[in-house]
Amino acid sequence: MIHYGQSIFEGMKAYRSDNGGILLFRPVENQKRMNVSARRMAMPEVPEDLFMESLLELVRIDRDWVPDGEGHSLYIRPFQMATDEYIGVKASDTYKFMIITTPVGHYYSEPLRVMVETQFFRAVQGGVGSTKVSGNYGRSLYPTQLAKQKGYDQLIWTDASSHRYVEESGTMNLMFVIDDVLITPPLGDTILAGITRDSVLTLARDWKMKVQERRIAVDEIFDAHARGHLQEAFGTGTAATIAQISTIGHEGKDYELPPVPQRYFSNKVGKALDDIRRGRAEDKHGWVVKVV
């Protein structure tokens, strides 16, 4: 029964290493997060061994579909949905867990033009914003369509009560570098705990960069921009890894950000993550799982 929205998913990628092997990046984090979504939606959890065995088996079968070009990978989509043939509103007694794959190239090739959304919202305290439940994505399509009509690629979601604090951009976590400090909104009900987000913060801390997980006001971003202190703005997520933001639109005005080649941290961390995922750099944190 699809009507009551018991539908959750995950997203990850398999990468081809230089020696032809196939590697996954932190797949157990996807398994854990899928179960966070499952619990919140009153769905059964998928045990780690079932999840990992199905995943590894499927990627082995699909091994020839893992592309080897720069920026290319095999996108993997695990999902679970209710399947009861029963119309009453209740948690389903039966579910289907499936995994599908597709080869992909670069997600965003150009830096993004994003618009601060102050009418619609993505998530609220006590809601389901921290889960990958299908309804979160369906609800975001219409506001995103409106932004696209105005010439933007994506939205910057703000908090539902005041619309003064930034939360996420599209299906990515948001990060800013202001005065050499890496700043991102803290995890909570309204922020999806991105695996890329965690990996970027971990590397930044390894490199002794100053990191702040705290609320960021829209005004703070534009104040920093006006003073010339906003150095970088980007989204993080499995699809794009680092999606550079070139322009932020707010109340009819466009704010242009520094050119991408000048962005020291995001360029460096994007390359570092890519090198780890493809087995070119030392995997200090034990993030990489070898498939073949």
Ligand X SMILES: *Cc1c(COP(=O)(O)O)cnc(C)c1O
Interaction site with ligand X (CB under 6 A): 11, 132, 168, 171-173, 192, 194-197, 236-238
Place of tokens 């150095």: 231
Q: Which two tokens stand for residue 23?
A: 């590697």
Q: Would you tell me the crossing angle of helices 195-206 and 27-40 to the nearest 10 degrees?
A: 130
Pick 194 or 225: Cβ nearer ligand X: 194
- Collapsing DSSP to helix, strand or coil, 23 comes out as strand
Is the CB of 35 or the CB of 196 nearer to ligand X?
A: 196
Integer Cα distance of 134 and 11 in angstroms = 12
Q: How far is the CB of 196 from ligand X (least distance, A)?
A: 3
- Does residue 189 contact residue 123 with C-beta atoms inside 8 Å? yes
Q: How far is the CB of 56 from ligand X (least distance, A)?
A: 19
> How does strand 7-9 pair with strand 73-82?
antiparallel
Of 235 and 249, CB closest to ligand X: 235
Minimum CB–partner distance for residue 192 and ligand X (Å): 4
3-state SS track over 137-163 = HHHHHHHHHHHHHCCCCEEEEECCCCC
CB of 168 to ligand X, least distance (A): 5
Question: 133 or 225: whose CB is closer to ligand X?
Answer: 133
User: CA 216 → CA 82, 107, 169, distances in Å?
Assistant: 37, 26, 13
Q: Which is nearer to ligand X, 195 or 225 (CB)?
A: 195
In the complex, minimum distance from the CB of residue 146 to ligand X, in angstroms, rounded to a whole number: 18
Q: How far is the CB of 174 from ligand X (least distance, A)?
A: 9
Cα–Cα distance measured from residue 122 to residue 252, given in angstroms and rounded to the nearest whole number: 21
Strands 166-169 and 154-158: antiparallel
Nearer to ligand X, 23 or 225 (CB): 23
Which strand (E) or helix (H) includes residue 269? helix 264-277
Q: How far apart are CA 26 and CA 8, in angstroms?
A: 19
Tokens of 2: 């699809």
The minimum distance between CB 78 and ligand X, in angstroms, equals: 12
Q: How does DSSP classify residue 86?
A: -
| Cα end-to-end distance, the chain, whole Å | 38
Pick between residue 158 and residue 173 the one whose CB is nearest to ligand X: 173
CB of 46 to ligand X, least distance (A): 17
Nearer to ligand X, 137 or 258 (CB): 137
Show the tokens assigned to 289.
């799982």
